[in-house]
Structure 1
Amino acid sequence: MKLDQIGQALASCYDNLVAEGIPDHLAALVRRVDHAERTAPLKADGPEARIVLVVEDERDTRELAESVLEETEMRVIGCDSAERALSVLQERGGDVALVFADIRLAGAMDGLQLARAIATLWPRTRLVVTSGVEPEPGVALPEGAVFIPKPWRAFDVLVEAERAARDPSPPVS
């Protein structure tokens, strides 16, 4: 079976789940699996580890995105605010390949402000911004950033993660 076919099958399964919200029993299962994986040795850790940051203040949605992105070879770190994401970036910015952030976040910064800061300070990081509403007219995403509307499909998120892992931006001169 080709990767595209697998992705399409995953996308159709997740479409209904994301659109309807995550049932409590599934959210509990995702949390248990997530805890088990976090206590297990990481697939790729150390100085060469690539990182995906998921920035979402709604816990169930963040955990769903984390579980989707854990299908990649990259290490996944969830953050509930832009400020927490910036603190991870300050520590490991060169290892962060992708930031997947909601526009509406708890805290002083929103996802668009976070995306602009990342585009300026870590220009090699791929940016994916998501929201249940389109960005306001006249509000531009940073160059190269991708917008995926909610409810997002797992396939679309995985495609962007693959691009981040496969085609990192060229070095900044």
Structure 2
Amino acid sequence: MQLDQIGQALASCYDHLVAEGIPDHLAALVRRVDRSNETPSAPGGRPKSRIALVVEDEQDTRELAEGVLEETELRVIGCDSAERALGILQESGGDVALVFADIRLAGAMDGLQLAHAIATLWPRTRLVVTSGLDPEPDVVLPEGAVFIPKPWRAFDVLVEAERAACDPLPVIS
């Protein structure tokens, strides 16, 4: 029997078990299994449908940014290259509200090239570009893009995520 089938069986018995009394550790397990089948929710209980895309080749930094953005109304997806980010955008571009990308990335395309491609192909996506180095003087960010230097503060990232989440979706005609 697969683990998810065991979890489903436990979840179906949960109400009955609670009435009879259930050990706390088993109740916690059943609740965790039951929640794993739900759609991720935003802090108000609303389903997370819009996406925050974190593009960072350093795993620890990417995981930190993902952890910060998990506190928002956005569903968070992380990737280590611009090419992977473009693949996600091709699948879900209309749902991507925020792209938080490092300038230096693994792969052939850097974060600035990614930002310009997104600004052209998905202009409603909020762009935040970050780097531990100041951009060269001749570097031009796409219109509306924001630069946040590393080490960035979680508050600054959350402010941009809030702006992205509150931005109304375009009207489809």
Do they superpose with TM above 0.5? yes
TM-score, normalized by length of structure 1?
Answer: 0.72
Residue 153 (structure 1) aligns with:
153
Contact 1:124–1:168 (8 Å) recurs in 2: no
* Structure 1 unpaired stretches of 5+: 1-35
Aligned to 2:73: 73
The Cα shift of 1:138 comes to 1.2
Pick closer, same or farther for the CA change 1:153–1:73 going to 2, 3 Å.
same
Aligned to 1:83: 83
Distance between the aligned counterparts of 1:118 and 1:136, measured in 2?
Answer: 21
Structure 2 residue runs of 5 or longer lacking an equivalent are 1-32
Amino acid at match of 1:160: E
> What residue in structure 2 maps to residue 43 of structure 1?
41
Matches within 5 A, 1:129-144: 129-144=129-144
Deviations 1:17-73 (A, max 9, x none): xxxxxxxxxxxxxxxxxxx9xx563116xx971000000000000000000000001
The aligned amino acid for 2:77 is I
Q: Which moved more, 1:48-57 or 1:111-120?
A: 48-57
Match of 2:104 in 1: 104
- Classify 1:135/1:170 alpha carbon distance in 2 versus 1 (closer, same or farther; 3 Å): farther
Q: CA deviation at 1:110?
A: 0.2
| Residue of structure 1 equivalent to 2:21 | none
Q: In the TM superposition, what is the alpha-carbon distance from 1:103 to its structure 2 partner?
A: 0.1
Aligned pairs, number: 135
Alignment correspondent of 1:113 = 113
3-state SS of paired residue (1:118): helix
| Deviation, structure 1 residue 88 | 0.2
Deviation at 1:134, TM superposition (A): 1.2
Matched, 1:122 2:122: yes
Amino acid of the structure 2 residue aligned with 1:96: V
- What letter corresponds to residue 76 of structure 2 in structure 1? V
* Greater relative CO, 1 or 2 (CA 8 Å, sep 6+): 1
The 3 A distance-change label for structure 1 pair 130 and 171 is farther
- Aligned match of 1:56: 56
Map of 1:18 onto structure 2: none
User: Secondary structure at 2:53's aligned position in 1?
Assistant: strand
